[in-house]
Amino acid sequence: MDEKVVEHAKQIAELLAQVKQKRWLTTEDFEEEFKVGYKTQEKMRKERRMPFSKFGGRVYYDRKLIDKTLEEHIVETRDLYA
């Protein structure tokens, strides 16, 4: 019985963490979440491949725009059995 309660508590904690995501990500947040290093981020910004904001000398990424950009770059799979 206790194991089930602990498991449910872990699941609830994970769901809450997903719901409470920050809207604005720093370069460090972006690197941690998407595994994209600073130099690659810099290149993406320079090439205008990833939308960003700059405030007080710091770069911020809007999670909503990241999601939109990812959706715009979906590569469709081929139906190999058609």
Kindly list the domain boundaries of the chain, sorted by start residue: 23-73
| 74 phi and psi angles, rounded to 5 deg | -70, 130
Nearest to 36 by CA among 55, 61, 16, 54: 61
pLDDT bin (cut points 50, 70, 90) of residue 1 is low
What confidence score (pLDDT) does residue 26 get?
96
> Does the pLDDT at position 81 exceed 90?
no
Q: pLDDT for 9-68, tens place per residue?
A: 788 777 776 666 789 999 999 999 999 999 999 999 999 999 999 999 999 999 999 999
